[in-house]
Structure 1
Amino acid sequence: MKSIITVFIFALLFSLSGYSQNPIIQTYYTADPAPMVYNGTVYLYTSHDEDSTVNNFFTMYDWRCYSSTDMVNWTDHGAVASLKSFAWLDKTNGAWAPQCIERNGRFYLYVPIHGEGISVLVADSPTGPFSDPLGKRLIETDHIWQDIDPTVYIDDNGQAYLYWGNPKLWYVKLNEDMVSYDQSIGQNGVISVEMTTEAFGAHKGRDGKPGPSYTEGPWFYKRNNLYYMVYAAAGIPEYIAYSTSTSPEGPWTYKGFVMERAPKLAFTNHSGIIDYKGNSYFFYHNEALAGGGGFRRSTCLEQFEYNPDGTIPLIVPTQEGVTKSVQNLNPFKRVEAETIAWSEGVKTKSDETVGVYVSNIDNNDFIKIRSVDLGKGAKKFAASVATVKSGTIEIRIDEKEGDLLGTLSVNGTGGAQSWKTLSTKIKAAKGVHDVFLVFKGEEGDLFNFDWWQFKK
C-alpha cells in the first residue's frame, strides 16, 4: 500500500505538470538513454536507478528496455539484462550506461560495469534474452575504472567502432563478430583520442586550469557524411556538448553546447540522438520525477531540427517533451497494459507466463495512452487481469476526469497470477483521443493488468 505522503506527492506533481510527457518513463527511475531504430521501431535501452540508494551513491543492478512506434507511448519490456548475466562477475552494483546495436540479425548490448570495465551481451531479439558470449570483459585496459559509457556505430563500409571513456576518450575497431576487436593497432587495439580544446572545447577544471570540456557519456553516430560525437561536458554539473569530424577516427572539431544546465536536470547527463520517421529526437535524463535526485534519474525526450549546415541547435529541456505522435495507436488489436504515455502510481513486473504486466495498482492510479484512433467507435472494452480483490477500470477520454465511455468491473479471479479476460460494453466515441484508464477500488493493491483492447 502506498503511503498518503507518496500519493500526495504524485498528485501534486501531476497537477502541476498537466500530465506532461517528460519524463517519458514514470514506473521506474531510468537513466543513460540509448535509443536504437530497428525494423520500424525505436528500442530504448536504459540503466536503472533503484528506488532506494546504498551509501547515497548510484545503485544500479540491471538494464531495461522500452519500445515505441509513435514516440509518445512507450512499451515496457522489463529488465533485459543484469549483473547476474555475467557468471564470472563477483559484483552486485554498478550496471551503468549501455548501448545496443544490431548486426546480421543479432543484437549486441555493450554495458559498463563500474570498476569492471566494458562487457558485451548478445541476443537474437532486441528485447533479449541476452547472454554473455565471452565469459569475461570485452575491453581489457590498465584504466579499467575509467572504462565506462560505451557507444557503438557501424560505418557504411561495415567497420564498427566502439568509443568510451571518462575523463578521456578511447576507441577500438570492432571485428565483424562484434565481440572482439583489432588488436594490431594502438595499445593492444585501444586507441586514445587526443584531448585538445580545439577538439572538445575549453573548460576550467577544479584545479583552476583550463582543459578539454569533454567529461563522459559519448554518443557516436553519422548523419549526411558527417560524424558526430555528443557527450557530457564541463564537469559537474554536466552540460551536453558535441564535436564533429569528416572521419570516424577524427580529428574532432568542437561545435558547442547542445543542452545547458537547467532546473530539474541531474548533476550528470547522458544523451542519445536518432532520426525516426522523418524527425530528429534527443534523449537525456533529469531528476524531475517524484522522489528523484542525482542518484534517481529519469529519461526525457525532445524533438528538434538540425540547422541547414548540419549543426545541432541548443535544445531546451521541457516538461511537454514530444507534443505530436508520428502515428496513431490502434486500440482494436491487443495493447499491452505496460504501453504508457503517462501514469500515476503504478509499477511493472514480469513473470514467465505473461511477461511484463502492470502492478502496484491502487485506488485513483491511472494510465494515459496518447493518440488512440477510435475510428468510428467501439462497442466493447476487454482486459486481462488477475486479482484476489475487486475493483474497476474506468475508460475515459481526453482527461483523467474526461468523458466516461464505460466501467469494467474487476472481481476476484482466483489469485494475483490467475489471469482472466473480462469485458464490458462502452458508449461509442469517434476519432483520435487520449485514453485514460483510471483504477478504482478499496485501499491497497487492487489487481494486476496485462493487456487491453477495444472491440467493434
Structure 2
Amino acid sequence: MNLRRSFFRHRRLFLALVVVCVGMMTVFFPFMGNVPKATAANESVKVWLTTPNLSSKLSPQPDLQLSSANVPADTTVSVDETDIRQTVDGFGASMTDASAYLIWNSPYKDDIMTRLFNPTDGIGMSFLRQPIGASDFIAAPQTSDYYSYDDNGGNPDPDLTGFTIAKDASYVLPLVSKAINLNSNVKVMGTPWSPPAWMKTGNTLSGSGGGTLKTEYYAAYAQYFVKYLQAYQQQGIPVFAITPQNEPGTAPGYPGMIFSAADETNFIKNNLGPAIANATLDTKPKILAYDHNWDDTDYITTVYGNAEAKSYVAGSAWHHYAGDPSAMSTIHNAYPDKDIYETEGSPVCASGPRPATTFLRSMNNWSRTGVAWNIALRPDGGPWSTEGLGTDCTALVQIDLPNNTVNYTLDYYQIGHFSKFIVPGAVVIGGQGSGSIDAASFKNPDGSKVVVAHNTDTSNSKTLKISWNGQSFTSTLPADATATFTWSGTQSNVINAATYSDQSGTQNEACTDVGGGQDVGFIDNGDYLGYQNVDFGTDVNTVRLRFATLTTATNDQVEFHLDSTTGPLVGTLTLQSTGGWQNWKTQTTSISGASGIHSIYLVFQGGSSIGNVHWVSFLHT
C-alpha cells in the first residue's frame, strides 16, 4: 500500500466533511468558466544599466513598455517562461582571508558589507565560496603564513585533536555571519586549497612539491571535513556545499594539491561520502566534484563512472580560466540528474572575462551559480601569495587602508545586475542572446521575469529586442554595457492547473514551485482535469506540463482530449519521475489536431498516486 496515498485519501474525506461544515466550497468547486487570461498587455519594464567607464553604475533608466509594435533590432531574445531549466542557488564571490582582513579593518566595514549583501541597500549577493584554510590570497602572504585547520607543527595528528578554526575567528567568521544576517538567502560553500601538510606525500601545504594525499590519511581527511562543518555549524553558519579539492589538476607554489580523478573518486566513495552521511549535522552539504576549469570533462566523467561515488555527489564545480562553458552543457546532457556550479572566475586573472560574461554563459550552460573570486583587494591587487598571480586578479571592492578609501569596481556593478534582481530559487527560462549580445532569462519565485544582457562589442552600441507573450520592447545597449530588465505579468498560454472548470478525483494543495499558488494533486488512474475555452489557434504542436511526483512507475500517462474526457485525442505524455511530490520539472510532448477554441481535458492513466500538476501550456515550437 502506498502510505502517502492511503493517508491523503483519508485526509481528503476529512476535508470533504470540513467543507460541508464550514462552507469552503471553493476547495471542490473552483472558478467555473473560461480559462483566465493573462493581464500582461502593455506591462512596464524596469531597466538598470552599467557602462564600462562607470558613467552609469547599475543606474535606473526610463521605463520601457511591452507593446505589439514590431521594431527591428540587432538581437532578439524570445523569453518563454514555460521553458524552465535549472534553479538558481545564488550569485557572489569569496570572502578570502585577504578580503576579510581588508574589510574588517576598514572604518567603512558596515557600509561595505551592506552594499555587498543587503538586497535593498546593496546588491544582495547570495553565495559565498569560502576557502577551508589558506588560499593564495591571505593577509600575511608569506610561505610561513599558510595555514590549515590542523597544522600541529607539521606532526601527524590522525585523531585531529589539534583541529581548530581559530584563525578564521579573527575576521572571516564574523564577516560571513554578518553577510548571512544581512541576507538570509546567503549560501556558503567550502573548498580546501590543501589538506594539512602532514597528510600529504610532500609534507608541505604548497602545491609544488606537496604531492598528493597519503592513502593512510584518507579517513582522517574525511573527518577533517566533518569537523569543519560542525565547527562552522556551531558558529551559526550552515555549509551548503563542499568540494574535495580546489583545482585538483594544478600544483601551484601556494597551497594546493594534485588530486587525480581516480583518487578523488575513491576518496568520495570510501571516505568523504560515508563520513558526511554519518555525521551529526543539522544540514548535510552537497558534495560537488572536480572544481576546476572548463577544459577537462574527463575528470567528472571518471567520478560519475563509479556508481558509489556518483551516489554521494550532487554535481560538479567549474572555473572559467580555460576551456569553453559549453563543457558544462556536455556534462549536463550526459548526466541530467546532476547539478552544475560555476564556482570561481576572477576577472582579468589568467585572462578570465568579467562577471557579466562568465555568469551569462554559465547560466546558459546549466550552472546554478555565478561566482567570482576575491570580494575585496587593495588597489594594487594584494594582499596575495608571493607565489601566486598577484596583480593579475581583480575584486569587487578596492580598499586602501592607509588612505581610508573604498572603490567599487566594474565587477561589483556587473555582479549586482544578477544578485540584486534574481532571487535564489528563481529558475533559468528560455530566452538567450545571440550575435554580440549575451543574454539569459530568469523567472523569480514571485513570477517576475528578469533578463540580463551584455553587449560584447567593445566599440559599438547594439539594439536588443526582448519579446514575450506576443509583445516586445527594444533597448539600445552601449558598447560593452550590461543591462537588467524586469517585468511582471503571466504568459497567456500558461494555464494554472488549479483553475480547472471540471475535475474528478483530484484535490488542490499549496505549491512550492516558482510562482507559488496551488497545484492539483492526489491524482489516480482515471482522474481528470478540464479547462474551457482554450484558444489553440492554428499552429499549436507542443504541450508542456509542469509536473512533480515521487512515484517511479513507468506506465503513468496523461492523455489530452478535446471537448470531453472521451473526445478527440490530440496527444499523450508518458510521465517521468521527478524525485519528489514538490520537486517540479517540465515535461513535454507533441500534439496534433488541436486548432480553434475548445475545452481541453487531461485524463490520467496508470496507477495510484500518479503525481501533482502545477500548470499546462500549449504552444508552437
* TM-score of the pair, normalised by structure 1: 0.32
Specify which structure has the higher proportion of strand. 1
Specify which structure has the higher proportion of helix. 2
Structure with bigger RCO (C-alpha 8 Å, 6+ apart): 2
Larger C-alpha radius of gyration, 1 or 2? Answer: 2
